[in-house]
Structure 1
Amino acid sequence: MKARRSTSGLPRAGGEAPQERRNPLGNATGRRSRVRSWPAADSRRRTAAKERAELLALRQGMRYRRMFVALLGVIIAVSAVVVLLGTVGLFSETRSRPLTPDEQNQYKQEEIARRWQAWPATGVFPEEVKYLGLDRAQQYARRVGIAPETDCAKAADASVAGVLQSHGCVTMLRATYMDQTASFVFTVGVAVLKDEASRISAGEELTQDDRVGVLPVAFPGTVSERFGPDQRQRTGWVGAGPYLVFSTGGYADGRTRAAIPPEEILHSELWPAAKSIGNQIAYFLADPPKVPPCTQGNVC
């Protein structure tokens, strides 16, 4: 009769060899495992590895930081140099210094060229203008009226207007005067050219015909009311800066040029007075201004 196997796996009786104990997976517990058992890393190794990793990250961060600081320093240095050079350049450009001869001449030209706009109409055409009468006596022509600013083509004879327009005439200013005895009337016209070079070129093309020039301006109810193109006895002009200053004169009684016989001589005072008035106004416009010695006034 076979002995029963006890619940513990050991034979109850007899000399039978004990059977191998099996684990729940079915492998014998007494057989050596084929998987090599690695010893677990201890806490020291883990700590050392962690410290090495932290040290490496710290060194890398310090390198990046040094590179960033160096780059930032270069940027700041370059910016400082640029700002310094700009400041020095600005100071050298804006600081007061003596004007050169070319700058002084340019200042004069610009000042003269803007007078026709900067001055009031009464500044361009004063109320009274001196002229020399008979026996070189100083007399005064009185302003009758100032005409509105007009186009050059509308204020001059066709031949003269064509020359003015071809050289860039900007506008024409006109005023009428009478002599001290109210025997003569004169119209003065200021043709404004682009610049002095244009004025010189236009003057070289103007005809010397004393029958053409500026058209007279008559003011009703005054001594000049009968002064028109036919009443002009003579015309002329003079250059000053960018201006051509025309003048024309006639009798206040309305006599035309054609009505005067060739043998009759014009009144000796009429044309000298007309020229003198035109020259005076040209002188006022082109009188050289006082030039400051320095770029910022009188102190360098």
Structure 2
Amino acid sequence: MNARRSTSGLPRAGDESTPERKNPLGATTGRRSRVRSWPAADSRKRTAAAQRAEQLQLEQGVRYRRIFVSLLTVVVVVSAVVVLLGTVGLFTETRSRPLTPDEQNQYKQEEIARRWEAWPATGVFPEEVKYLGLDRAQQYARRVGIAPETECGKGVDASVAGVLEEHGCVTMLRATYVDQTASFVITVGVAVLKDEESRVSAGEELGQDDRVGVLPVAFPGTVTERFGPEQRQRTGWVGAGPYLVFSTAGYADGRTRAAIPPEEILHSELWPTAKSIGNQIAYFLADPPKVPPCTQGNVC
């Protein structure tokens, strides 16, 4: 016999035809499980929070920008001050101003010291040189030739060469002259020292022996061709600036020193003539130049 159903139409407990439901925790239940959803955040609150975060970032960016601008301003100002001070200093240093006494003296020394190199050879050894003859009459010695520039030790006697080389002699310049009558032959030698102090020191060590000094320079085919070391009657030197100006003289006819009596050597017109020519060339080299009054010429 079939089982009787309930008048309510609901399945009875234990009816195998009715499916069982399980809740999320695994427990069997006869009712449908309902899970309440988590309430969503309020959209206005989210918007406000986003705006606050954006505002904070903006304020932070503004602060960084102000710091950067401040640092950049400091750098620009410092750079401008440095440039201004440099410009003022450069203007002060380079503007024309009167030369001090020390600067004037330095200008003279530098101008004199470079003449041997800046001037042509004919400037160091002029074609004609004035000298005083008998009765102090003004006469002119004529240049016969200019020797090639040589080492100091090769233009003088050995005893003189040692002194020059010890004190830094740079070079030796030589030229040969004859007096107005072409009776005397004179070789003038210019020893270039590194500075005036060296020249003074070298001069203090040079002896007074009038038989040694500059070596003669003869030019074949001229009246000077017989002038050699044995024909030197006397030698001497004079200091001028950084230069030692040597001179030596002999007779154009080739007479040696040994052939001339000592009395004639001492009282001959030959040596005053040679000494005067050497002094004139020394004067040309050491003549003080005209010094400009200002650092940039004649206008301060």
Same fold (TM over 0.5): yes
CA distance, structure 1, for counterparts of residue 175 and residue 267 of structure 2: 22
Shift of 1:131: 0.3
Structure 2 residue 178 is matched with structure 1 residue 178? yes
Contact 1:3–1:12 under 8 Å retained in 2: no
Shift of 1:179: 0.5
Provide the residue aligned with 1:107 in structure 2.
Answer: 107
Contact 2:241–2:286 under 8 Å retained in 1: yes
Contact 1:3–1:13 under 8 Å retained in 2: no
Q: Note closer, same or farther for the CA distance 1:71–1:224 as it changes in structure 2 (3 Å cut).
A: same
CA distance, structure 1, for counterparts of residue 110 and residue 43 of structure 2: 92
1:236-260 Cα offsets, whole Å, 9 max, x none, are 0000000000001100000000111
Provide the residue aligned with 1:22 in structure 2.
Answer: 21
Identity value in percent: 82
Contact 2:191–2:243 under 8 Å retained in 1: yes
Amino acid at match of 1:87: T
Provide the residue aligned with 2:193 in structure 1.
Answer: 193
Provide the residue aligned with 1:294 in structure 2.
Answer: 294
Contact 2:171–2:191 under 8 Å retained in 1: yes
Contact 1:176–1:218 under 8 Å retained in 2: yes
Shift of 1:48: 0.9
Q: Note closer, same or farther for the CA distance 1:140–1:4 as it changes in structure 2 (3 Å cut).
A: farther
CA distance, structure 2, for counterparts of residue 14 and residue 192 of structure 1: 141
CA distance, structure 2, for counterparts of residue 14 and residue 148 of structure 1: 145
Between 1:253-262 and 1:266-275, the stretch displaced more is 266-275
CA distance, structure 2, for counterparts of residue 118 and residue 14 of structure 1: 137
Contact 1:234–1:249 under 8 Å retained in 2: yes
CA distance, structure 1, for counterparts of residue 75 and residue 296 of structure 2: 36
Contact 1:174–1:217 under 8 Å retained in 2: yes
Amino acid at match of 1:112: I
**Counterparts in 2 of 1:82-97, with a 5 A limit?**
82-97=82-97
Q: Note closer, same or farther for the CA distance 1:250–1:152 as it changes in structure 2 (3 Å cut).
A: same
Between 1:193-202 and 1:264-273, the stretch displaced more is 264-273
Amino acid at match of 1:78: V
Between 1:11-20 and 1:202-211, the stretch displaced more is 11-20
Contact 2:233–2:265 under 8 Å retained in 1: no
**Counterparts in 2 of 1:48-127, with a 5 A limit?**
48-127=48-127
Q: Note closer, same or farther for the CA distance 1:15–1:180 as it changes in structure 2 (3 Å cut).
A: closer
**Unpaired segments ≥5 residues, structure 1:** 6-10
Provide the residue aligned with 2:3 in structure 1.
Answer: 2
Provide the residue aligned with 2:153 in structure 1.
Answer: 153
Amino acid at match of 1:175: A
Q: Note closer, same or farther for the CA distance 1:13–1:253 as it changes in structure 2 (3 Å cut).
A: closer
Shift of 1:232: 0.4
Contact 1:144–1:177 under 8 Å retained in 2: yes
- Partner SS for 1:38: coil
Contact 1:21–1:30 under 8 Å retained in 2: no
Structure 2 residue 237 is matched with structure 1 residue 237? yes
Amino acid at match of 1:274: A
Amino acid at match of 1:22: R
Shift of 1:14: 7.4
Provide the residue aligned with 1:12 in structure 2.
Answer: 9
Shift of 1:94: 0.7
1:124-167 Cα offsets, whole Å, 9 max, x none, are 00000000011111000000000000001000001111100000
Q: Note closer, same or farther for the CA distance 1:162–1:293 as it changes in structure 2 (3 Å cut).
A: same
Q: How many residues align?
A: 294
CA distance, structure 1, for counterparts of residue 235 and residue 188 of structure 2: 10
Q: Note closer, same or farther for the CA distance 1:81–1:263 as it changes in structure 2 (3 Å cut).
A: closer
**Unpaired segments ≥5 residues, structure 2:** none
Structure 2 residue 63 is matched with structure 1 residue 38? no
CA distance, structure 2, for counterparts of residue 118 and residue 180 of structure 1: 29
Shift of 1:46: 1.6
TM-score, normalisation: structure 1: 0.91
**Counterparts in 2 of 1:211-226, with a 5 A limit?**
211-226=211-226
Shift of 1:117: 0.3
Provide the residue aligned with 1:8 in structure 2.
Answer: none
Q: Note closer, same or farther for the CA distance 1:4–1:225 as it changes in structure 2 (3 Å cut).
A: farther
- Partner SS for 2:198: helix
CA distance, structure 2, for counterparts of residue 14 and residue 60 of structure 1: 71
